[in-house]
Amino acid sequence: MPEGPEIHRAADEIAGAIVGERAQIVQFGLERLRPWETELTGACITGVEAHGKAILTRFDVGVAVYSHNQLYGKWYIRKAGLYPKTGRSLRMEIRGPQKSALLYSASEIEILRPEDESSHAYLAKLGPDALDFAVEEADIVARLGDPRFRGRALGGLLLDQGFVSGLGNYLRSEILWWAGLHPGWRPKELTDVERAQLAHWILDVTRQSYETGGLTDCLQRVAAAKAQGVPRRLYRHAAFARDGRGCPECGRTIEKIEVGSRRLYLCKECQPVRV
């Protein structure tokens, strides 16, 4: 599933293609949404916003199209009237005069009026977005002390969109590795310094991934690996999907475990179990 950085980058690309344009065609691949095609065709696209792992595409007729990629959704930007070669199902097309934004394979698409957004099942539960640059480390430290979150193991907490939105599976492994924390630890068991460090890495790792197109390892190591011709999949992350390879810091073999039915990668030397 795409995580916050990928969704925010997609929103940026969609916005660059169609915001400020008048929709020449709006089509939906879901029968329940087709009554909206006539109203949205001809409307002006006024904004495209990422909220956690969802996107709101706003129109000047007073509604927004909510979409969540879930596991298989994928956005494409193409010249107006052209389509990618793919076996995916087209779920939404917003065609401007020059370019089209095309959403394939997603089924979680809704039309929302402004008054619906605050009570929407997904949007209403979102915590602060790690890619909202108004969010500061102190805000995350406060979340870690909140009674709703302070007693939960970090391995599960970092996937809870109500804690901090936009985090996902690869970010979870990377944040915990950079913070030197085992996924079984709980915020209430951490020192003030450890909580501050965790808050720092939650924002830093997520924002670097957004700014670099998915790189979460040290950028100096990335540059050295690229210069040596190392494939991107081997230098993109510090811990995630690196099982069987050495930890970038201590050299111990990175291990893969399962937490919350999802894979997590860690170094048991750098991220020891709390005694």
Report, as residue numbers or ranges, the catalytic residues.
2-3, 53, 262
127 neighbors 164 (Cβ within 8 angstroms) = yes
272 neighbors 181 (Cβ within 8 angstroms) = no
Instruction: Find the DSSP H helices in 28-127.
Output: 37-40, 114-117
**Exposure string for 131-154, b = 16+ CB within 10 A, e = fewer:** bbeebebeebbebbeeeebbeebb
Instruction: Find the DSSP H helices in the chain.
Output: 4-18, 37-40, 114-117, 137-145, 154-157, 169-179, 192-212, 219-227, 232-235
Q: Three-class SS of residue 41?
A: coil
Q: How far is CA 110 from CA 1, 47, 64, 145, in A?
A: 19, 16, 8, 35
109 neighbors 55 (Cβ within 8 angstroms) = no
**Exposure string for 158-171, b = 16+ CB within 10 A, e = fewer:** bbbbebbbbbbbbb
